[in-house]
Structure 1
Amino acid sequence: MGAFDMLRIANSSLGMHQTWLDALAHNIANANTVRATSENAFQAQMVVASSLPSGGVDVTRIEEGDAAGILTYSPDHPLADADGMVRMPAMDMSVQMTSLVQAQRGFQASVQVTKTAQDTYGAALSIGQR
Structure 2
Amino acid sequence: MGAFDMLRIANTSLGMHQTWLDSLAHNISNANTITSTDEPAFQQQMVVASSREDGGVDVDRIELGDAEGQLQYAPDHPLADEDGMVRAPAMDMSVQMTSLIQAQRGFQASVQVTKTAQDSYSSALQIGRAQ
TM-score by length of 2: 0.98
Which residue in the other structure is 1:57 paired with? 57
C-alpha distance after superposition, 1:66-113 (max 9, x if no partner): 000000000000000000000000000000000000000000000000
Q: Which 4+ runs in 1 deviate beyond 4 A?
A: none
- Runs of 5+ unmatched residues, structure 1: none
Which residue in the other structure is 2:106 paired with? 106
SS at match of 1:128: helix
Which residue in the other structure is 2:42 paired with? 42
- Listed as ranges, the matches of 1:48-87 within 5 Å are 48-87=48-87
SS at match of 1:42: coil
Which residue in the other structure is 2:22 paired with? 22
Which residue in the other structure is 1:117 paired with? 117
Native 8 Å contact 1:3 1:120 kept in 2: no
C-alpha separation in 2, matches of 1:8 and 1:116: 13
* Deviation of 1:128 (Å): 1.0
- Runs of 5+ unmatched residues, structure 2: none
C-alpha separation in 2, matches of 1:72 and 1:66: 15
Letter of the 1:124 partner, please give it. A
Q: How many residues align?
A: 130
SS at match of 2:62: strand
C-alpha separation in 2, matches of 1:129 and 1:18: 36
TM-score by length of 1: 0.98
C-alpha separation in 1, matches of 2:3 and 2:39: 51
C-alpha separation in 2, matches of 1:3 and 1:94: 41
SS at match of 1:129: helix
Native 8 Å contact 1:6 1:114 kept in 2: yes
* Deviation of 1:124 (Å): 1.1
Native 8 Å contact 1:47 1:59 kept in 2: yes
SS at match of 1:95: helix
* Deviation of 1:3 (Å): 3.9
